Every structure is written in structure tokens, then in C-alpha cells.
């Protein structure tokens, strides 16, 4: 199996000026699993993510899912995920 199969992705809220509300890493179709959970009314540990997605879906829209970077090793993806989360938090605090 190739090593560079991971990616980092982010969810943006179209109801709030495309504010990033979730950043994760995965491979394959992982980026869509959160949508599937919300549509099945499965509430995961991250309730904020779930309720944000539900609110967006209930409005008739879908969250914007963007790949931040792909073709990463697992360790590169984890490192970029952490960095992206910190950058997102820092940009919110500085506003």
C-alpha cells in the first residue's frame, strides 16, 4: 500500500461566511463520514461538529468540504492537521 494516501480536510459553514468549524485528516472517503453521521442522526463525541452540520443541512445547504493538502503520509497528515487547527484557533483569537 502506498504511503502517501492521507489528506487534511476542513469543513466550512456556509451560514457563517464560510467559517471553518472542523479540521481533520483521513484517507479515502473519510471527509464525508461526518455528513453521513449527521444524516443518520448519529451523535458522535464532537457534538459541536454534529449540531453545526445538522443546522446547515436543516437550512437546505451543505457544509463546504475542502482538501487542505493531499498525498501525505499519516504522520505528515497528523502534523498538518494539528498546525491547521492551531492556525485556525489563533486567527479567531486575534480578531
| pTM across the whole model | 0.90
Residue 95's pLDDT band (cuts 50, 70, 90): low
Contacts of 42 (CB under 8 A, 6+ apart): none
User: What is the total residue count of the chain?
Assistant: 95
What number of helices (H) and strands (E) belong to the chain? Answer: 3, 3
Over the stretch 40-80, which tens digit does the pLDDT of each residue have? 988 888 899 999 999 999 999 999 999 999 999 999 999 99
Span 5-44, pLDDT tens digits:
999 999 999 999 999 999 999 999 999 999 999 999 888 8
Amino acid at each position: 500500500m502506498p504511503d502517501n494516501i492521507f489528506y487534511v480536510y476542513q469543513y466550512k459553514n456556509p451560514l457563517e461566511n464560510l467559517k471553518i468549524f472542523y479540521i481533520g485528516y483521513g484517507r479515502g472517503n473519510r471527509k464525508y463520514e461526518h455528513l453521513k453521521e449527521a444524516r443518520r442522526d448519529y451523535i458522535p463525541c464532537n457534538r459541536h461538529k454534529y449540531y453545526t452540520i445538522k443546522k446547515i443541512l436543516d437550512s437546505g445547504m451543505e457544509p463546504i468540504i475542502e482538501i487542505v493538502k493531499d498525498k501525505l503520509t499519516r504522520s505528515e497528515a497528523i502534523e498538518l492537521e494539528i498546525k491547521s487547527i492551531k492556525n485556525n484557533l489563533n486567527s479567531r483569537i486575534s480578531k
